[in-house]
Amino acid sequence: MTHEIMTGRSRYYDLLGRSVHCLEWGGEAAPAVILWHGFARNAHDFEYLATALAGRYRLIAPDTIGRGLSAWSPEPDTEYTVPFYVRQAVALLDMLKLQNVRWIGTSMGGLIGMVCAATALKDRITHLLLNDVGPAIAPNAVQRILSYAGTPPSFASLPELEQYFRTIYAPFGIAADAGWRRLAETSARRLPDGRLTTHYDPEIAAVLGRQSAGASGDAWPVYDQIAAKTLLLRGAVSDLLAEDTAAEMTRRGPKARRVDIPGIGHAPALDTAEQVALVAQFLAE
């Protein structure tokens, strides 16, 4: 890693009756950037990127409900859903009085951003960066994610948990050993028996499994409504965002500009100088 990582300021917001934890970097008067993580991840994934951008922007990274330090939902079937996350995103922007934002979304965070940019926040999202996600998702990738997210194992030590993360998240292409250690330390929770497991409510996977069983997986009508300037980052060996989907995204809707990250799967960790430069260039457009 090429710069000292800064952990953001912790904030807790009541959004639609649920406590949502956010990490924030940069000055509150600076242009705002929302950073929204992937399905079984949390706000700490953006620490490298946010540290690099904090001199120019106000960066706000939520832990989606059910993950990290945000509340677990007592109503998972209705609240561990993209429509509920979108409503919470709107509530967050309203609470912080943010009229215009740039949005960076990895995987699920990109899906939330797509829906926001097409509907409730269409007039408020100026830039949309989709990190390895699009309006059609490969079913095999969903099954891969469910295979590890649904029944998270427990471990006696943090190094064992780190090794597990190195295995299941190998496609992220995390650049340094320190990055893996940081991911493990910020993605752990202790069980009543003292063992360590993942930071999220396992119900998020149960709900996704039920949803994906009956879903068409076609969000093209949503994508076609997006007016924001759009950049698509794709892991060149992604199993979630197919080549033909990525190509079609450059031709329709917001006509995304596309950049493939060599040697990376789903999804780029945004933790190298080269990836940060791509993001910074896009945000400044």
Instruction: With 0.95 as the threshold, say if the pTM is over it.
Output: yes
Measured CA to CA in angstroms, residue 277 lies from 41, 58, 109 at distances of 23, 17, 20
Domain assignment present for residue 86? The answer is yes
**What CATH number has the domain bearing residue 228?**
3.40.50.1820
Domain assignment present for residue 81? The answer is yes
Domain assignment present for residue 63? The answer is yes
Domain assignment present for residue 143? The answer is yes
State the Cα–Cα distance between residues 277 and 234, nearest whole angstrom.
15
Domain assignment present for residue 202? The answer is no
Give residue for tokens 């993605």: 187
Domain assignment present for residue 181? The answer is no
Supply the range of the domain harboring residue 104.
9-148+217-284
Domain assignment present for residue 36? The answer is yes
How confident is the prediction along the chain (285 residues), in pLDDT tens digits per residue? Answer: 457 898 899 999 999 999 999 999 999 999 999 999 999 999 999 999 999 999 999 999 999 999 999 999 999 999 999 999 999 999 999 999 999 999 999 999 999 999 999 999 999 999 999 999 999 999 899 999 999 998 999 999 999 999 999 999 999 999 899 999 999 999 999 999 999 999 999 999 999 988 876 555 689 999 999 999 999 999 999 999 999 999 999 999 999 999 999 999 999 999 999 999 999 999 999
Domain assignment present for residue 54? The answer is yes
Residues 106/45, Cβ–Cβ less than 8 Å: yes
- Total of domains in the chain: 1
